[in-house]
Structure 1
């Protein structure tokens, strides 16, 4: 599994070289192979006898940070979606993106995102999961902002990153809390010790932080606002990130921790409420949109809300339906995004007000659209997979009493009505998408170019996805025992009762709810233009986007004001602020951790020579500040360095003494060499307050360094490593001089990189000298 996770990152390294030959062969062909290979590798785990697989690789064992990959039914579901749809999207992008685009950049970002998502769903170590989690935010930022010359793309990319990274930091806090409480970094280990977390006084904070991370990632209300703006990304990005992968990372997180958190009633209340509100709001707002991808963006929000609500219900039927709908949603929504891209590509616009009647010009695309959109609407037809999971949602909403939690009667009774309300608008926007685009009278004069059917290369991927819609609809149990049931078992934390999926259950309440959705949805769809002015009232002028924009503007304004307050060009002020911050933070940390410890039981005796040398250094240091002569200041400063060398000699450290002598000699020599170019030494007319502040900071910094040195010697939080060097310097390093062996062998890489840094600095100085010389010659 490690190879599968690292493969996209490895191939991404070679993409810039492959893109150089894009005129001869599109690099998308090479990229398509990567997810296809990963899909084939993991598809072998499908089967009724599947058992979880765990693989562990050493990473930082001293911190209990190992790369542990855990493949169970839930992670297998997501891995197959990530790789399978990833292959289809990569192939689709070959025909969607022109060779004049920066294809090297696109596919590098694409592969980094794919590898990051695989890492998220396979990692059992919380720190590995968090690292991959943030990589998905970073790579999605790059993908959404791929067309960075467009202001809207930059805005959408920044917005998505700010919101999801904010949630990611919240998630990190929850993971750290749980790791400290359970003394493990394993997700499965935490779930096994769930009572420690559930009974902790910090549980409300843990639950809030973890759900905040999940809600921001999966665009739950009110954090949904980033998803519509992310539609400025190229359509292959939207089809991949915003239908099957990134937006479902939050769902995965909730599902993964569901066996532990669902035992608490607040998990049901918060997750179910957020999900059902997101379903209703997203479906309601989708009908208001005029951009095809805008409709699909809000439809994605509503579908994510429905899945989140089912995860919150926590019943066996709800969990099974949630897992099933994750699969179904990926098939019909991925194909619909690709269809929207085809319409934009072949008709020149995504504005549904300018579209209509495209079935005549794009019959194949229209056929795919009607199947996918009707499946999304949950139309009760036996060959559409969306109906099956939608009916499971209705069934689960009617049996919340089996959730085993003390919930309010109002919430329990309101959820079925809200489920129907959200599903009615789901039906409306699905019909709006299809009939508004492909039926009606063509408006050719409104289109930038005459529409025509897309090339077969662009149709293959949506055809495969729509075929998945039909195959799952006709043979739902083909995927049940070998695939869906295992994922539901992983979410439940135990094996669920075997459940067969079939179309006809009789005239039971869920089917009646489905019929009500079709009837009322049809009425609203036909009368959409009549009731659409209601959007002027709800939401009217209210918008979460205004809240976001106002918050960002205020933060930028306050930041600019604060920055201007201290960034006045004075190096002295900068140094005072930096040193004062270091002093305050260091002393505060030492006070909290008991760092003010003085232990003189293990120090050398102080004799007259050491005192004499120390006094000489103090006098020289003070003289450096008071002298008005530059040469005198340089020479007196040298006394401090040579005095330190004398202390090394007195304390029997000849190697350090020689090193200090060399450094001090070179430093004094350099000062003298550049003596001519030094600025004139003159005192500034500074107010007494500034001088007093400088004196306080100087004394404080000196006191801080003194206390750090004494405390570091007096406080032993860990066993000293010195004995290890004494015992092994000759045996492992082959040298009698311990210091030399440490520098050359034990810390060889550190020494090497120190030399590299010095070499780079020397090259930089040499380049500056040559540059100045060449300018002088001119």
Structure 2
């Protein structure tokens, strides 16, 4: 399908053009206006396919890439990928519009928008890829591009540290997920996600099925900041606010949720999947909301609230896997609807959290601080920003008339219903699900009130603010106001979203269910007086009490000292790894060339000789060998004499001459074996080497003391004997090995393969051309590196001179 291909490729093409054209473009208008056209075009292209997707149609197209390894660029657009595609492009459009007014023109905007487009293209590649290897390629590209975005203000130490932390954790999870994908390939024989889903009954019996499940989940959990991998997300808030609003509310952190949703048809019928996804999600939900209350930085508060909301969505997908476990029995329809709620809240969270991030950016931009302790009384000075905060904050708290209320009520329904699932033997444990959900919702209400109340109510503190507070320019307000309009609009018209967007996505998660409409409940704002509504009343009442008495109980957080936090353990682990690697490296990086040769030869002998012995490849049959002539024996003894006495030579001239004897003797062997070209090459190389040795005498260090020399000589002799014996035995084994056909049979077809009648010339001129080309590329890269260093050095010296 051309639309999906354009959606993936266009951001990369534009990112490549920005460095070439940005100087000309910025003379015409702000660079962001040109970049803004990319997500708008893609959003409109995807949106025009909504009716077809809602009707149950899917779009698949395959572009052959590496067919010999079953790696093809297969794009797949269905209901699930449509949701994420619209979020990536829709929120991306609003974020770019917001960034035009947020970022100063003095910033390196061409770098910023280049990184942002790279990330957008990578995210679209993740959600539209059907091939596991292609999906993984884009998955890691999201980690790399997000690293560049988080570290955009690289002059800040905290930005660099946050970017490294995010990349370390997410790449670790990505590599784990790659291993899981490879296991799925071994179990299924295909890299296609659609084919894997179609053959899940067979794959689930494979011994690698459960390990693949664990590794895929590990990748999803790290990317979506699930407990205990959530620690990278708060540190990533050092990125500019547009980055936080895009990556950490609508896109990157949702990539792991996409993986869980996409692979639910594969792993959802496994009991372990239910416990890990729902359990980890609930723990993350509670831990994130609990820690959000203690934050004094607005973005840190939103970071932990994002962790909490991601845990809520993840737990719902775990609860929805009950439908896969039951095989879609009628009684399980209510549990499958948990996945519907997860998708619903996924969209709701992107709207209200994106608006809140932008609101915090406005406060920081116009007031000069995000510290809650320095804020207050901004409602009258920033009324529009206050309105955005109220709409987004109350939606996050789950209050009407905002979309967060609808999905939160349905979340309560899902956790209450799971108590009745006897198949999981959770009749007793199941009561913990609604309890944890309710307690976490109370903390969610508290930090939502902190966000609104501590920032906009109370007494104004102008002496603690870096700038005089005032309302933001209209351009910076447009994007969050659009998101707030969606927050309210979805509350009043939720079923439009349910029918056209959520229902086809449910068909993707439950592909074998007869009718996706049965899995799509009608969304009501009022269900009467029921348990869910009573739980909401309890959340508001208890949350309001806790907010009012915040000062009296907030010191309880001191019970959890920072030295025992997950961040402290992570930092200790990184420090331990760095110190250990430094000590280990210093042990073998001695600066002594002899030591390095010892390591190389010892590894060579251990690996090659060990493998040959283990594989029983040493097989000698001298019956077919030609007789050894007397002059060949003489040359052999001359070479042995030169090699042995070279070790015990007391003068460098003697050692150099003996080395020359050894080299010239090899040249004589080439002459005897009728290889004059090799003999000539050997003679030239040996003559030049000997001359260079003699010319460098004056620069060589003094000989080591006699006692040390004897120890080194004997160690060198032992290594030389082992290396020589290994090479000799390998040569003999290769000559006499008859378990495989000789490679010369392949080159007998030299004329047909390369058009040459001389095998040697053909190999040198045609088959080795690729090797030569790669050597030239290496030299080119080295030359570019040297050129760059020589150009940078004067600038560095000039900068140092200016600093003085």
Q: Does 1:29 align with 2:33?
A: yes
Equivalent residues in 2 for 1:44-63, closer than 5 Å = 44-47=48-51, 48-63=54-69
Equivalent residues in 2 for 1:180-199, closer than 5 Å = 180-199=186-205
Equivalent residues in 2 for 1:276-675, closer than 5 Å = 276-313=282-319, 314=321, 315-381=335-401, 384-400=402-418, 405-495=423-513, 496=516, 497=518, 498-538=520-560, 542-590=564-612, 594=615, 596-598=617-619, 605=626, 607-608=628-629, 614=636, 616-627=638-649, 633-634=655-656, 636-638=658-660, 640-641=662-663, 643-644=665-666, 654=675, 657-659=676-678, 661-662=680-681, 664-672=683-691, 675=694
> Which secondary structure state, in structure 2, belongs to the residue aligned with residue 185 of structure 1?
coil
Distance verdict in 2 for CA 1:758–1:408, change over 3 Å: closer
Name the residue aligned to 2:132.
126
Specify which of 19, 24, 46 is matched with residue 22 of structure 2: 19
Distance verdict in 2 for CA 1:295–1:762, change over 3 Å: closer
Q: What stretches of structure 1 of length at least 5 have no aligned partner?
A: 769-778
Q: Deviations over 1:443-480 (max 9, x none)?
A: 22221111111112211221222222222222112122
Which range moved further: 289-298 or 21-30? 21-30
Q: Deviations over 1:231-254 (max 9, x none)?
A: 111111111111111111111122
Name the residue aligned to 1:776.
none
Q: Deviations over 1:126-179 (max 9, x none)?
A: 222222222222222221122122121122112112222222222222222222
Contact 1:635 1:668 in 2 (8 A): no
Specify which of 740, 743, 758 is matched with residue 737 of structure 1: 758
Query: Matched residues in 1 for 2:733 and 2:475: separation?
Result: 70
Q: Give the TM-score, by structure 2 length.
A: 0.87
Specify which of 32, 38, 43 is matched with residue 39 of structure 1: 43
Contact 1:634 1:668 in 2 (8 A): no
Distance verdict in 2 for CA 1:710–1:152, change over 3 Å: farther
Q: Deviations over 1:548-583 (max 9, x none)?
A: 122122222222222232333222223322332343
The CA RMSD measured in Å over matched residues stands at: 3.1
Shift of 1:189: 3.0
> Which secondary structure state, in structure 2, belongs to the residue aligned with residue 74 of structure 1?
helix
Contact 1:265 1:407 in 2 (8 A): no
Query: Matched residues in 1 for 2:532 and 2:740: separation?
Result: 64
Distance verdict in 2 for CA 1:67–1:188, change over 3 Å: same
Distance verdict in 2 for CA 1:229–1:605, change over 3 Å: same
Contact 2:612 2:618 in 1 (8 A): no
> Which secondary structure state, in structure 1, belongs to the residue aligned with residue 155 of structure 2?
coil
Contact 2:184 2:208 in 1 (8 A): no
Contact 1:346 1:452 in 2 (8 A): yes
Tell me the number of residue pairs that the alignment of Structure 1 and Structure 2 aligns.
761
Which range moved further: 367-376 or 599-608? 599-608
Shift of 1:720: 6.5
Shift of 1:330: 0.8
Query: Matched residues in 1 for 2:20 and 2:491: separation?
Result: 43
Shift of 1:597: 4.4
Distance verdict in 2 for CA 1:659–1:139, change over 3 Å: farther
Name the residue aligned to 1:771.
none
Query: Matched residues in 2 for 1:539 and 1:238: separation?
Result: 28
Shift of 1:226: 1.1
Query: Matched residues in 2 for 1:504 and 1:643: separation?
Result: 97
Name the residue aligned to 1:772.
none
Query: Matched residues in 2 for 1:326 and 1:711: separation?
Result: 63
Contact 1:19 1:26 in 2 (8 A): no
Equivalent residues in 2 for 1:146-225, closer than 5 Å = 146-225=152-231
Q: Does 1:244 align with 2:250?
A: yes
Query: Matched residues in 2 for 1:767 and 1:217: separation?
Result: 36
> Which secondary structure state, in structure 2, belongs to the residue aligned with residue 479 of structure 1?
helix
Distance verdict in 2 for CA 1:402–1:569, change over 3 Å: same
Distance verdict in 2 for CA 1:765–1:664, change over 3 Å: farther
